[in-house]
Chains A and B, each alone.
Chain A
Amino acid sequence: MTGQRLAWVMAAAVLVAGCGDKPQQNGDSQVVLIGQASPLTGPQAHLGKDNENGARMALDEINAAGLTLGGKKVVLEMRSEDDAADPKTATTVAQKLVDEGVVGVIGHLNSGATIPASKIYFDNGIPQISPSATAVAYTASGFKTAFRVMTNDAQQGTVLGDYAVTKLGAKRIAIIDDRTAYGQGLADEVEKAAKAAGGDVVAREYTSDRSTDFMAILTSIKGKSPDLVFFGGMDPQAAPMIKQMKQLGMKAKFLGGDGAQTPNFIDLAGAAAEGAMASNPGLPLDAMPGGSAFKAKFEAKYGQIQNYSPYAYDAMHVLVAAMKRADSSDPAKYLAELPKTDYQGVTGHIRFDAKGDLAGGAVTLYQVKNGKWQTLETVQSGK
């Protein structure tokens, strides 16, 4: 009798499983797709791959630990797409992920790609967590599906501007930006914060992300004798700029954002780099709460950490934690849980503000000493 009943139950279960509208059934567990988008080709391929690896490591851990949602065993699967860091390709890729039926997305890497893609995720109700996009515009759209686990440009700029005046004691500040979305956004925030802290912005000059000659604007800045020059832009400009400052005999301090806080900056600027300061959002890896453990695990599996993989790792955990709280992988259901995130991750304590930005994102300042970037201090952005 019992044997017979068991057989019936099993037959019914097979039948139900066979009739289920989700084709992705694997034994008695359900496959849930999560998207990842970053540049896997092009100049930033190494960063994109790093993000992918970070997200994958989290995914593997979650699967290994076992995930049950709505009483069913769930296996997560990642769909990784290459957006080539290009806005147009990003929208194509976003559409592809939505078509494939992902329930959430970790990505994209660059702000330029993240912003147009976020509209597609929003239109389809798919939650998105970017591990690395910093432009303010990404979360300013008001899309309730857009989140990030990275300090944004406004938070970084505010810290930098304030730091320049209060900690570095700069009274007269000159600001240069490279007229890219990143450089201009950051420089504007620095200007605001520096003025708010009582600093005097004596010059605002501009260059482009292709220039290597800054003599004209630096000469004009020199005439206004600032104590500090801030540059919003990337290392290929920051390096010759600091060299030319030395050539012109300028004594002002040099401060940059994360675009300048790279090993390449020191290679390109050589001896002129000594004493330059720059910031990077987040904590240095060795200061992250779970940094050293993450580093050991990650490097055993994928090799050297490039930059944002800890953030991609945390983003995946944050996404799945929301699913767990909602007890569902249905985006319509677990999206409501994301804003309530309160997660202790590798990169720090992750909570979101009303816009989906990281609340109280940290910014770390570094200085070149003896040809190496050394940590000065970490500042929490006041929010």
Chain B
Amino acid sequence: MDIFLQQLINGLVLGSVYALVALGYTMVYGILELINFAHGEITMMGAMVALSVIGALALAAPGLPGVLVLGAGLVVAIPVCVALGLLIERVAYRPLRHAPRLAPLITAIGVSIILQNVAMLIWGKQYIPFPAILPQGRHTLYGASITDVQIAILLLATAIMLLLILMVQKTRLGRAMRATAQSRQVASLMGVDVNRVIAATFAIGSALAAVAGVMVSAYYGLAHYYMGFLLGLKAFSAAVLGGIGNLGGAMLGGLLLGLIESFGAGYIGDLTGGFLGSNYQDVFAFFVLIAVLVFRPSGLLGARVVERA
């Protein structure tokens, strides 16, 4: 039972990180029907920028409380990522809004490669350690353990998601976003500044990515120029699983994927009598993705028709 509980905690923490990143994919896809391949790289950029600030602060003022230093990192990382997201939208996606579908997808891959390599040139190829500034407390719960950082991730992720849903449901901007997602043309006829709404979507998604990036690097204690790619891919799978374009779906999908990976890697060896092992852990995400797309393309919660050419 303690093993089961532990895997549940592992899965929920991993899943809430996926969910945060998945939100960025799902919002952009909901409005533009574009897989923003570079979203994972924005997460990485957030982690890298924050880590630079945190590293510098930890050296300059070693006495500062960890949470404050982390906050300073976030305060710098969020605007950088927002600016980056806006820049990418402006340069690489907006001019291609009416081009054939393949075109923005290819520029997205290109942007993703550029960001990776720029990060590599700036921060080098080595993994960068996250300074040990956060409380390392560990609690035991029916034989399973959970750390302060894990609790913070769970709480923060939940809070952000609730805020986001409130924003989309209750504010003017949220209404404009929903209108734009339904029909860009009609929304613009109703007086919605579509370009502004799209830009705002990218900005919010990038801000979430920055938070997720900082969380990931704080949790695992390191950052690397390549870290965004696989994370992005898995988060996208989560968004598809939940129903792309659907905010609640992204959260559900993220949590489910985290649990699937956790329980899958933990139990697959015992379940298949050693025939399959944890070496197939990364297969689960892709397998789930393919299965969902083939059998239920609209995802678990998605009601929208996704098959659009």
Contact = CB atoms under 8 A, between A and B. Distances in A.
Q: Are A and B subunits of one complex?
A: yes
Interface of A: 43, 179, 204-208, 210-213, 215-217, 219-220, 222-223, 235-236, 239-240, 243, 247-249, 264, 267-271
Given A213-B14, A236-B224, 6 more contacts: A43-B125, A213-B10, A215-B10, A220-B278, A247-B145, A264-B126
Given A217-B278, A219-B3, A236 B266 contact: no
Contacts of B13: 215
B176 to A, nearest CB: 37
B269 A220 contact: yes
A319 B299 CA distance: 64
By DSSP majority rule, is chain B's interface helix, strand, loop, or mixed?
A: helix
Interface of B: 3, 6-7, 10-11, 13-14, 125-127, 129, 132, 138, 140, 145, 147, 216, 220-222, 224, 226-227, 230, 261-267, 269, 277-279, 281-282
B279 A239 contact: no
Nearest to B231: A212
B6 A219 contact: yes
A270 B134 CA distance: 12
A186 to B, nearest CB: 16
Given A220-B3, A220-B265, A210 B277 contact: no
Contacts of B140: 249
Contacts of B282: 208
A210 B227 CA distance: 8
Contacts of B222: 212, 236, 239-240, 268
Find the residue from A207, A213, A223, A264 having the highest chain B CB count within 10 A.
A213
B281 to A, nearest CB: 7
Contacts of B221: 239-240, 243, 268-270
B271 to A, nearest CB: 11
Query: Which residue among B147, B265, B266 has the maximum number of chain A CB atoms within 10 Å of its CB?
Result: B265
A375 to B, nearest CB: 24
Contact of B127 (A206, A208, A213, A264): A264
Contacts of B6: 215, 219, 222, 248
A264 B128 CA distance: 9
Contacts of B11: 216
B231 to A, nearest CB: 9
B10 A222 contact: no
Given A207-B281, A264-B126, A268-B127, A216 B7 contact: yes
Best-buried of B140, B267, B269 by chain A (most CB within 10 Å) = B269
A247 B138 contact: yes
Contact of A271 (B132, B230, B277): B132
A220 B270 CA distance: 10
B230 to A, nearest CB: 6
A216 B279 contact: no
A243 to B, nearest CB: 6
A250 B109 CA distance: 41
A179 B282 CA distance: 12
B277 A216 contact: no
A236 B263 CA distance: 24
B278 A223 contact: no
